[in-house]
Structure 1
Amino acid sequence: MKFGKTLDNLMVPEWRHQYMNYNELKQMIRNAVEKAPSGSRPSNDVAIGYYRDFEELFFNSCGVELTKVNYFFAHKQAEAHRKLATLNYQLDRRRAQQDPRGSTASRGSASSWSRQTENKRKLPPIKKLRLAMSEFYLSLIMLQNYQTLNMTAFRKICKKYDKNLKSEAGFAWYDKYVLRSTLAITLQLDRMISTTENMYTDYLANGDRSEAMAKLRVPPLGHPTPPVHVFSAGLFLGLFLVGAIICFISYFSVDTSPEFRYTFVSLFRGPISGVTFGFCLAINIKVYEKVGVNHVLIFEVERRNAIGAMRALEISSFFGYMCTLSILLYLLHKEFFIEDPIYIPLVQVAFVVVLFLNPLRILFYSGRIWLLTVMGRILLSPFFFVNFADFWVADQWTSLVVTIVDHYYLVRFYVRYFLDRSDAFEFEPDYAVAVIRCLPAWFRFAQSLRRFRDSGSKSTDYLINALKYFLFIAEVVFSTIQMETIAHYTDLFESPWTWAYITICIVSSIYTVFWDLLMDFGLFRVWNGENKFLRDNLVYPRWFYYFVIVENTLLRCVWILEFALVHQELIAPYNGKSLICFSEIVRRFFWNFLRLENEHLYNCGQFRATRDIFITRLDPQEERFLESVMDNTEDLGREKRNKKYF
């Protein structure tokens, strides 16, 4: 693989614009060679002038790139030095509590300070300290990779210059400027990495270095998915595709009654839509990895345990295959000698629930715990600080309302069936359905109010966002009233509740479309030029944004089509709900691309590549103490470097 491609693959996405622009400099060399005076000899004045001018232009460009890289590297080193001092101080407080006599002489002053303040302020939990140290170590490794990649890029571009232009100026410039730059001096960075490893080993791993390094382990950049997961994903995907084709053929070829088909759709639409949504998420993750959208950071997931696209495909394909097996057994139950196929959907759902709630540390345990934690925070939305993952998952729920209701129908059906009630096979909505439909919107409404509170009541955007979900709740309320009172009118449009429902749906659709485009996607920031109606920074091809604008607008209004088709009796009501269900899943699929891209661009603007683990706030006196410790450390390190190297 060529180095330019390798550099693109190994870049930290949030720092992409801070790397040396290798491809641009490489193109400059290529253009210079192509435009060189033909037939000229080195002694020719025209050729000499041409190469001299290009040499000046090229190395001026290299100098600009080197200045940019040096500044960013120095800034990140200083930031890391500050974080290390803070972590060291927090560890020292805990160490002083455990050993009042202090520890090493080099940290005696810090221990003394800790003993004076440990009784005044609560110590950070050990779990949070481990997490903070692990994330800090990851940031150091990223910075080390940044330094290595840029040094290699400068060396290779100078070598390429010498090779293509038959010169030695590239080597001379590299030796004079790059090797003597801030970027080439890694003593401080190496010392911080070593110090972090020793601190974690001594105070967070009870002196066990192997355990410490296992916790601090950073996945290699560009590391491929383990073959076992690739094989499993391919196997289950193939089985699912074959099973899906057979299910499709069987559904239309098996001679069944309309009642049987109605029951089938009511029992299996929820699992089918869930599997469809899972495949959409797997594609989302694959595209994120392809274009460099750091979804792992955005979701605040532990990078060492993150689920990649191939594993997401493996999970979706497995459950998809289980779903196709259940459908085949249900449709062809006579061929499989199954007398009562009603229990098949129950077994399938129970199997999924058992796997998901399995307490054993197998089957993506860390991912399941993360999702359960997020779900718990959503259910208690007003009482917890809202992270991005919290409201993102809650947003997904708003698109899965029909799926959630279908699973409620499933549970209600089996309760009635086991109680031998006559209305067991009726899948009509009740008041519980109205409540369930409101819940996802309520969670987002509560989250928006909580974010408004946490912002110090300064950002009205959260209140405006809350209004969007309030309108959805109003939709459900008017829809429920309209269905309950329709029997009192001879025509659908005689009911005032019908017009109230249509009005609130129109207002809600317009409101949500504008919010999606302006706030969630961050579009319509540029009104002229190539990116008209978009924004300055784009990750995906330009046409994709225009497509999503049209697609999102149309699918936000698909309820109009469903309302018209059902009213004209062109489709059955339950098929109308299927149209709403899958169109909303498709809309959310494309929404996820632009929403995470918008968040990713924000992280890029902040150069944020790792999670910020908040431990405890330092008071002004502690801040001054840390500054003095850092100054002493820098002076000591400078003296050592002077004695050793100069």
Structure 2
Amino acid sequence: MKFARYLEENAVDEWRKAYLNYAGLKKLIKRVKQHYDARKTGRVPVSESSSHPAARLLRGGTSYLARGQRTVPKYGALGDPEEQDPLPSVTLDGTGLEAEVLLAEPVRTDSKMVDTGLDATISRHFDEQERLFFYALDHEVDRMVEFYDARELEAVERLSTLVSQLIELAEHRRAYKTQTKRIDGGHLKNIWSKVPRRLDTEELHRLRLSAQGRELQPSSREPTSSDEDVGHQRREHALEQVHHLNLVDVDETPKEPRHYDPVHYKTARRKLRSAVVENYRGLEILNNYAILNRTGLNKILKKFDKTFQVHLWDRYYEERIQQRSLVVSTTVPQMLHALEDIFANYFEHGDKKRARDILRLGVTHALLPHETGHHRSTFVTGLYIGIALCLVIEAFDHVMHKSTRALIPMWPQLLITYAVFFLPTLFAVLFGLNLIAWQHVRINAVFIFEFDATTAIDPSQYFELPSLCLWLLALCFYQSFTAMPDDERYVSATTWPLLWLCAVVLLLCNPLPIMHRSGRAWFLRSCARVLTGGLIGSIEFRDFFLGDEMNSIAYSVSNLWLVQCEYRSAWQSTCNPSATYWTPVLSSLPAFLRLMQCIRRHYDCKGTTHVHLVNAAKYASTICHAFAYFAFRTTGSQSSVRFVWWILLATINACFTSSWDILMDWNLLHREARYPFLRMHLSFDDIWPMYYVAMVTNVLIRFVWVIYLFGSPSTLPLRAFIAAVLEVFRRWLWNFIRLENEHIGNADTYKIQPRAYTDQSTAVP
């Protein structure tokens, strides 16, 4: 495999601009070779200019050193252009090395220095334009070294923070072991301990401990020698090894005694375990960064030697690279070894092999997200979806028959009920296509959504659960409209939707370690965070992303009242969504939750920016639109004032939301972009017309409310469902570019790790 391709496939996308510009340097070698051959042979094309271009050496937009701080080697005299013969000029256009730099005044070497030193050797063999390659290479080395040093310093600071927290965790564990004990008495007593006996804080603490198989001691006891077990000694030894590295700076000044709540120990331990995995992943990525760039420098120098039949590789590497931190620093490998010891002794009972396997599994997910091989999952997904399509087609064929409608008089309400359940299921299946596309263009969804890197699943595996839910829904839909009442095993048509709902709840909440339990737990926790509206904790990307997704299934949320009303009234066709305020309240609930999230984000940023308040106003307009539409439907007249207010608010909301989608969420419409009205960096560059299609489609579907202006009242449920499906399709397209924009933002700041774990809620002063 060519190294340029190898570098492309193994580089971390968020750091892509910081890697060696190997392809650009290869192009530069070819241009220098053309100039060199023309100079040696004296064959100069007449059309070529003899002017010497400015030295454009730096990668555009990625300069790390101030010009006053930059040290530029003097590769001999630049010479006088007027005294030289016309030669093909060496340009840097299209190499990615085009930014300008101010070069120091040239130093002319005398005859005694011609044969000594790297600079003199280069000056003797190459003219000014040919030396452009070495200026560019010098800059690349400086740029990579500075980037590496900055990331290494960040890694040391992270490790220092982590060690401090691990010291506190050891104290917390001591309190946990001292104040609690294992529940004895067998399996029955263990089950009985989980039964609540009263409602107060103390009982809640007891129940949370019982879930961990522990109970409070009758009275606190002081630690004894039995508490200083082998595990404690291992943990102390692991921390001592870190201190011996003389890298971390841990504040060892005496602190006020803290009271650690034993109930929160497991939570603190789980968070710190994830923090160690993330730190190890970041260090391994940094280590691979150094290895890839060292390899690239060696290869580009050898290629230069081979092209020009010279022997400069070893001398250049020794004088310009060998003593730089990118080569000689052992800090990162030492920290990797220290984290392996910490993880083994703190979380894996001293099993170093298992610890390394777990830590490196997380690194594999980060560095090789493009490698897949879950063919069984793909087959099962295709089987589920294929059978589901057949069942739905057959069921709709029965629904069209008058005999079926006569046997099932509540068929219109039943169709709406299935539509309510179908929409989020369809959305979940489509989201799998988002995951596949993001993986294909190396968008790090695992990091952005804060999945656990050690248990993150592949998109092929993700499809299993949504496709299973779709198959179950199609099966229930088929049974509702094909089963005959005279059958001895007949189940009422209205029972099947409830059976499906119960099955989905059981699948999602199943505590057994099957069907990707970690992924299901992440989804349930994330949904719970969204439902709090930012009242409990700070808002993360996954919170407002899921909140936006929920806004696109407002149809299902708003019709929950109708579904429960039909079951409560025994499907007597007495439920009218236009007659209850529950309809607009539920319809605007997702927008209200997002509004609360925006207010919380404004509060967290201390009012330094008002963009979150503007975003909150956008969701306020969505809420006003929902209530205005409800007010119009209660009258049903297009000549009323309520109709005018609805049209006005719907137009404002559509313009507001579509503008925000394109300008803020997608960050498009840049004038200086390579493709008009897009942006400079595009992950889906191969299919760039898709961005224009997405923009037009997004605006058109934002105005889908016009569908309610036409048609008879009898077709209103169908029009509402069509509008809801179009909104799901719009959000599906929105997802592609929204996460791409977030990924580019992370790449601009070289962000590959979440912020360090600083939650001290486990310790109570």
TM-score normalized by structure 2? 0.71
- 1:118 to 1:136, Cα distance in 2 relative to 1, 3 A: farther
Aligned counterpart in structure 2 of residue 365 of structure 1, from 517, 529, 533 = 517
Alignment deviations for residues 240-263 of structure 1 (CA, whole Å, 9 cap, x no partner): 135415633662576423767634
Matched, 1:438 2:584: no
Match of 2:744 in 1: 601
Q: Matches of 1:368 and 1:597 in 2, distance apart?
A: 24
Q: Matches of 1:407 and 1:323 in 2, distance apart?
A: 17
* Pairing of 1:122-521 with structure 2 (within 5 A): 125-170=268-313, 172-217=315-360, 218-220=362-364, 221-222=367-368, 227=373, 229-241=374-386, 243-245=388-390, 247-248=392-393, 251-252=396-397, 255-257=400-402, 262-334=412-484, 339=490, 340-381=492-533, 382-406=535-559, 408-417=561-570, 422-423=572-573, 430-486=580-636, 492-521=637-666
Q: CA deviation at 1:132?
A: 2.0
Amino acid at match of 1:18: A
Q: Matches of 1:344 and 1:579 in 2, distance apart?
A: 24
Alignment deviations for residues 237-285 of structure 1 (CA, whole Å, 9 cap, x no partner): 1441354156336625764237676345313213332232123211111
Match of 2:180 in 1: none
Alignment deviations for residues 609-629 of structure 1 (CA, whole Å, 9 cap, x no partner): 011133269xxxxxxxxxxxx
Q: Matches of 1:129 and 1:235 in 2, distance apart?
A: 36
Q: CA deviation at 1:324?
A: 3.1
Q: CA deviation at 1:469?
A: 1.3
Q: Secondary structure of 2:710's match?
A: helix
Structure whose CA Rg is larger: 2
Q: Matches of 1:555 and 1:231 in 2, distance apart?
A: 37
Aligned counterpart in structure 1 of residue 695 of structure 2, from 549, 556, 570 = 549
Q: Matches of 2:693 and 2:311 in 1, distance apart?
A: 51
Give the length in aligned residue pairs: 601
Q: CA deviation at 1:397?
A: 0.5
- 1:186 to 1:578, Cα distance in 2 relative to 1, 3 A: same
* Pairing of 1:97-108 with structure 2 (within 5 A): none
Contact 2:163/2:250, CA 8 A, preserved across alignment: no
Contact 2:673/2:680, CA 8 A, preserved across alignment: no
- 1:25 to 1:137, Cα distance in 2 relative to 1, 3 A: same
Q: Unaligned stretches of 5+ in structure 2? A: 45-86, 89-124, 175-227, 761-765
Q: Matches of 1:180 and 1:546 in 2, distance apart?
A: 50
Contact 1:26/1:157, CA 8 A, preserved across alignment: yes
Aligned counterpart in structure 2 of residue 84 of structure 1, from 149, 153, 159 = 159
Alignment deviations for residues 192-250 of structure 1 (CA, whole Å, 9 cap, x no partner): 111222233334444343453354333423266664x3222223214413541563366
Percent of aligned pairs with the same residue? 25
- 1:7 to 1:415, Cα distance in 2 relative to 1, 3 A: farther
Contact 1:414/1:424, CA 8 A, preserved across alignment: no
Q: Matches of 1:427 and 1:460 in 2, distance apart?
A: 37
Alignment deviations for residues 593-623 of structure 1 (CA, whole Å, 9 cap, x no partner): 2221222222112211011133269xxxxxx
Match of 1:26 in 2: 26
Q: CA deviation at 1:444?
A: 0.7
Deviates more, 1:316-325 or 1:425-434: 425-434
Aligned counterpart in structure 1 of residue 143 of structure 2, from 68, 72, 80 = 68
| Greater share of residues in helix | 1
Match of 2:80 in 1: none
- 1:90 to 1:342, Cα distance in 2 relative to 1, 3 A: closer
TM-score normalized by structure 1? 0.83
Q: Unaligned stretches of 5+ in structure 1? A: 487-491, 618-646
Q: Matches of 1:193 and 1:135 in 2, distance apart?
A: 12
Q: CA deviation at 1:453?
A: 1.5
Q: CA deviation at 1:440?
A: 0.5
Q: Matches of 1:264 and 1:616 in 2, distance apart?
A: 48
Q: Matches of 1:92 and 1:260 in 2, distance apart?
A: 64
Amino acid at match of 2:334: R
Contact 1:513/1:553, CA 8 A, preserved across alignment: yes
Q: CA deviation at 1:443?
A: 0.5
Contact 2:160/2:249, CA 8 A, preserved across alignment: no
Aligned-residue CA RMSD in angstroms? 3.6
Contact 2:562/2:576, CA 8 A, preserved across alignment: no
Deviates more, 1:350-359 or 1:391-400: 350-359
Match of 1:564 in 2: 709
Higher relative contact order, chain-length normalized (CA < 8 Å, sep 6+): 1
- 1:171 to 1:410, Cα distance in 2 relative to 1, 3 A: farther
Contact 2:348/2:355, CA 8 A, preserved across alignment: yes
Matched, 1:532 2:701: no
Contact 1:402/1:581, CA 8 A, preserved across alignment: yes
